[in-house]
Chains A and B, each alone.
Chain A
Amino acid sequence: MRLSRSPLAIAAFLLAVPGLLISSGGDVFDTLTYSTPVILFVAAAVAMFTSVSIPSLVVVLVLVHVVAFCLIGLLHAMPQPPGPSIGYWCMVASSWLLAWFSVQNLAGLKLASPQAQRLVNLALPVLFGAWLLILWEIIVRGFGVPSILLPPPSMIAERISSSVPTLWADFQQTYLKAAIAGYAIGCGSGFLAAIIVDRVPFLRRGLLPIGNLVAALPVVGIAPIMVMWFGSYWESKAAVVVIMTFFPMLVNTVAGLAASGAMERDLMQTYGSSYGQTLLKLRLPAAMPFIFNALKINSTLALIGAIVAEFFGSPIVGMGFRISAEVGRMNVDMVWAEIFAAALAGSLSYGLITLVERAVTFWHPSYRT
Chain B
Amino acid sequence: MNFIRNSVIPVGTVLLAILALWYAFAIVLNAPFERDQAARANTTISTGQLIANTMAQERPVLPAPHQVAEEIRKTVFDISPTSKRSLVYHGGVTLSSTLLGFGFGTLLGILLAIAIVHSRTLDKSLMPWIITSQTVPILAIAPMIIVVLNAVNITGLLPKAMISTYLSFFPVAVGMVKGLRSPEIMHLDLMRTYNASKAQVFWKLRWPASMPYLFTSMKIAVAISLVGAIVGELPTGAVAGIGARLLAGSYYGQTVQIWAALIAAALMAAILVSLIGLMATLVNRRMGVRP
Contacts and interface: CB of A to CB of B under 8 A. Distances in A.
Interface in A223-246: 223-225, 227-229
Contacts of A319: 140
B266 A121 contact: no
Contacts of B249: 224
A282 B239 CA distance: 54
Contacts of B262: 221-222, 225
Contacts of A307: 137, 139-140
Given A129-B129, A224-B249, A217 B10 contact: no
Contact of B10 (A203, A229, A299): A203
A205 B135 contact: no
Contacts of B269: 216-218
A303 B14 CA distance: 30
Interface in B223-237: 223, 226-227, 230-231, 234-235
B124 A221 contact: no
A220 B227 contact: yes
A319 B137 CA distance: 11
Residue from the set A148, A224, A319, A323 with the largest chain B CB neighbour count within 10 Å:
A224
Interface in A89-128: 100, 103-104, 107-108, 121, 124-125, 127-128
Contacts of A227: 250
B266 A218 contact: yes
Contacts of B231: 220, 308
B282 interface: no
A210 interface: yes
A342 B250 contact: no
A149 B265 CA distance: 31
Interface in B242-278: 242-243, 246-247, 249-250, 253, 255, 258-259, 261-262, 265-266, 269-270, 273
Contacts of A300: 134-135, 137
Contact of A346 (B13, B136, B258): B136
A100 B125 CA distance: 10
Given A224-B258, A327-B144, A149 B226 contact: no
A350 interface: yes
Contacts of A312: 247, 250
A126 to B, nearest CB: 9
Interface string B187-226: 0000000000000000000000000000000011001001
B183 interface: no
A213 B250 contact: no
B28 to A, nearest CB: 12
Contacts of B135: 299-300, 343, 346-347, 349-350
Interface of chain A, helix or strand or loop or mixed? Answer: helix
Contacts of B7: 205, 209
Contacts of A328: 147
Given A148-B148, A217-B223, A228 B136 contact: no
A132 B126 CA distance: 11
A308 B147 CA distance: 16
Contacts of B124: 107, 121, 124-125
Interface stretch (A188-196, A258-266, A331-339): A331-339
A128 B129 contact: yes
Residue from B127, B147, B219, B249 with most neighbouring chain A CB atoms (10 Å):
B147
Interface string B120-132: 1101111111001
Contacts of B138: 304
A367 interface: no
B42 interface: no
A25 interface: no
Interface string B139-176: 11101100110011000000000000000000000000
A304 B125 contact: no
B15 interface: yes
Nearest to B249: A224
A45 B14 CA distance: 72
Contact of A342 (B136, B220, B234): B136
B137 to A, nearest CB: 4
Contact of A224 (B6, B143, B151, B250): B250
B11 interface: yes
Nearest to A212: B273
Given A107-B125, A149-B148, A203-B14, A213 B270 contact: yes
Contacts of B258: 224-225
A206 B247 contact: no
| Residue of B129, B138, B139 most packed against chain A (CB within 10 A) | B139
Interface of B: 6-7, 9-15, 18, 61, 120-121, 123-129, 132, 134-141, 143-144, 147-148, 151-152, 219-220, 223, 226-227, 230-231, 234-235, 242-243, 246-247, 249-250, 253, 255, 258-259, 261-262, 265-266, 269-270, 273
23 contacts: A107-B120, A124-B124, A127-B125, A132-B129, A148-B148, A206-B9, A206-B11, A220-B227, A221-B243, A221-B261, A221-B262, A224-B258, A225-B255, A304-B138, A304-B139, A308-B231, A311-B235, A312-B250, A313-B250, A323-B143, A324-B143, A339-B144, A346-B135
Given A104-B120, A124-B125, 10 more contacts: A108-B120, A202-B10, A202-B13, A205-B7, A220-B230, A228-B61, A327-B143, A330-B151, A343-B135, A350-B135
Task: Kindly list the 8 A-B residue pairs having the minimum CB-CB distance in the complex, ordered from nearest.
Answer: A206-B10, A224-B250, A206-B14, A128-B125, A205-B10, A125-B128, A350-B135, A216-B223
